[in-house]
Amino acid sequence: MKHFPKDFLWGGAIAANQAEGAYLEDGKGINITDLARHGFQNIADDNINPDEFYPSHEAIDFYHRYKEDLMLMEEMGFKAFRLSISWARIFPTGEEEKPNEKGLEFYDNLFDEIIKRGMEPVVTISHYETPYALVEKYNGWEDRCLIDIFLKYCKVIFDRYKDKVKYWMTFNEINNIHIIPYAAGAIKIDSYSLKEKMQITYQASHHMFVASALANKLCHEIIPDSKIGCMLSLSAVYPNTCNPDDVFEAMELRRRSLFYSDVMLRGYYPGYINRIFEEFHVTLKKETGDDEIIASYPSDYLAFSYYRSTTHVAGSPFMGNTGGVTGASNPYLDTTPWGWQIDPKGLRFVCNELYDRYQKPLFIVENGMGNIDVISEDGKIHDDYRIDYLRRHLVEVSEALKDGILIIGYTYWGPIDIVSAGTGEMKKRYGFIYVDKDNEGNGTLKRSKKDSFYWYKKVIETNGDSLF
């Protein structure tokens, strides 16, 4: 039996705000990341401080160098390339009457290049990149008017790219609105009480559910042969012991995330959420027709990121499951230098868990290892640790396929070094391609291949057989 199906979408994934740079070029507006100097785990500035250095403003200059970068992706044999459209390039403040033609042109050229190089573009419509003006004016998704603003943006990009892009996803890691609300929901809630935070977060989530369902509808109308998914952060959650309290709470913690895919894939609010709403005194404002919209236009597939697993001890606070927030340490697992527990089998576990629950295609759109790369005396980067991480995770993906799970593809996170979302640094590198740039902005931006580049190329070339 072959390990991977022959049309498996091997590839890599990046986000505009972490790679493009050119943060003010060709009419782009300021987006939320442009103000997050130290990444989303920290408080973002209200204005750009001219005396400070913002790594994402130039990032790796993908905006001007994408041709060279895509040539390297082609050399690795990528079948798919996941990227996001920077919303503020298309609508600088979100509310212009007409889109910014220069921004649209940029993505036209970019998609053409991706296709020319034999890859399927996989597009995230909103990857932590909401135009900042919408935060200032409406506190982002707290305000229902974001639904129409978002749909106007969706209509423009669906119309424009209908012949080029067939795979879409609406919001990156929508469930992360609970751990990084500014990034995932464009809401600023730091100064609020827990009760207020929960109220705003769930209300914003509701608006995003309606927006996502309507975007699904629009996408299918404009691009009949498209697939549009939801996207969640779904690293595994384990109970710390077999104490039923640990086991039960781990399940409850998991549900805080699965709530998002439950609504977006099944099309209704699950019963268990009422108890959470009661506990935090959340009163959701829904309009007539919202429930029908959510029920009528579910997502076609479930895309998710998987980096690690979290171990939960009963009684400890409920946290998210990625982005650097960790639960108890797991004595069976090693960690990355950023403390993320390396758990390949957890990926197989999650694939089974999700497919059992939804029976919808899964797309692993983020998985990867952030590490400190050192240039050796021979001038090269011998990143065996990354190869080992990847090999072990991909073996588990093949096991999940044998378990009967429908997985349409795997896009490694950060095939080229980019700015970290959580901490805003360059030092945390994921790439198969090294980019000569440091945390302070020094470097030539030159690209070079790490050992993992050749290794992943071989995996794709043999459709996974070289793993064994």
Number of H helices, E strands in the chain: 15, 12
Verify binding: residue 21, ligand BGP, rule CB under 6 A. no
Query: Which CB, 18 or 311, lies closer to ligand BGP?
Result: 18
User: Where does residue 416 fall: left (phi above 0), alpha (psi -120 to 50 degrees), or beta otherwise?
Assistant: beta
How big is the CA angle at 188 (ends 185 and 189), to the nearest 5 degrees? Answer: 105
Q: Does 172 bind ligand BGP (CB under 6 A)?
A: yes
Confirm or reject binding of residue 29 to ligand BGP (CB under 6 A).
Answer: no
Residue closer to ligand BGP by CB (options 4, 63) is 63
310 touching ligand BGP, by CB under 6 A: no
Cβ neighbours of residue 252 closer than 8 Å, sequence gap 6 or more: 318
431 binding ligand BGP? (CB under 6 A)? no
Residue from 92, 94, 323, 464 touching ligand BGP (CB under 6 A): that is 323
- Which two structure tokens, joined as six digits, stand for 157? 């990009």
User: Site for ligand BGP (CB under 6 A): which residue of 4, 8, 10, 15?
Assistant: 15
Cβ closest to ligand BGP, residue 126 vs residue 216:
126
How many amino acids of this chain bind ligand BGP (CB under 6 A)?
16
Partnered with residue 328 across adjacent β-strands are 311
Contact indicator for 318, 259 with CB cutoff of 8 Å = no
Least distance in angstroms from the C-beta of 421 to ligand BGP: 3
Judged by CB under 6 A, does residue 413 bind ligand BGP? yes
Q: Is 366 a catalytic residue?
A: yes
Determine the Cα–Cα distance for residues 364 and 397; give it in Å rounded to an integer: 9
Whole-angstrom distance, CA of residue 67 vs CA of residue 73: 10
What is the pattern of x (binds ligand BGP, CB under 6 A) and - over residues 210-239? -----------------------x------
Residue nearest to ligand BGP (CB): 422
- State both tokens at 186: 């464009």
Q: Which stretch binds ligand BGP (CB under 6 A): 162-170, 186-194, 247-255, 413-421?
A: 413-421
Strand pairing class (433-435; 447-449): antiparallel
Q: How many CB atoms lie within 10 A of CB 183?
A: 27
Burial of 209 (0-12, 13-18, 19+ CB in 10 A): buried
What's the CA dihedral at 191, 195, 196, 199 to 10 degrees? 140
Show the DSSP H helices in 77-180 as ranges: 87-90, 101-116, 132-138, 146-161
253 touching ligand BGP, by CB under 6 A: no
Asked if 384 and 334 touch (Cβ cutoff 8 Å), the reply is: no
CB 426 within 8 A of CB 419: yes
Q: Which is nearer to ligand BGP, 171 or 238 (CB)?
A: 171
For the bound state, the minimum distance from the C-beta of residue 177 to ligand BGP, rounded and expressed in Å, comes to 12
CB of 124 to ligand BGP, least distance (A): 9
Q: Which CB sits closer to ligand BGP, 370 or 431? A: 370
Neighbours of 346 (CB within 10 A): 24
> How far is 35 from 44, CA to CA, in rounded Å?
5
- Which of 121, 140, 422, 431 contacts ligand BGP by CB under 6 A? 422
Among 257, 420, 452, 463, binds ligand BGP (CB under 6 A): 420
**Shortest distance, position 288 Cβ to ligand BGP, whole Å:** 34
Minimum CB–partner distance for residue 283 and ligand BGP (Å): 30
Report the residue from 322, 326, 411, 463 that binds ligand BGP according to the rule CB under 6 A. Answer: 322
Shortest separation between residue 435's beta carbon and ligand BGP, angstroms: 14
> What's the closest the beta carbon of residue 428 comes to ligand BGP, in angstroms?
5
Residue number, 223 or 236, with CB nearest to ligand BGP: 236
Structure tokens of 280?
Answer: 């935090």
Complex with ligand BGP: residue 173 or 290, whichever CB lies closer: 173
370 sits near ligand BGP (criterion: CB under 6 A): yes
| Helix (H) or strand (E) run with residue 252 in it | helix 244-261
CA torsion 408-391-397-421 (nearest 10°) is -60
**267 vs 324, beta carbon nearer ligand BGP:** 324
Given a contact cutoff of 8 angstroms between Cβ atoms, the answer to whether 305 and 413 are in contact is yes
CA nearest neighbour of 166 among 102, 225, 126: 225
**12 forms part of the interface with ligand BGP (CB under 6 A):** no
Q: How far is the CB of 15 from ligand BGP (least distance, A)?
A: 5
- Give least dist CB 40 to ligand BGP, A: 8
Q: Is the dihedral of CA 375, 20, 370, 70 positive or negative?
A: negative
Which of the following is catalytic: 366, 396, 399, 440?
366
Residues designated as active site: 366
User: What residues make contact with ligand BGP under the rule CB under 6 A?
Assistant: 15, 18, 172-173, 233, 305, 322-323, 366, 370, 413, 420-423, 428
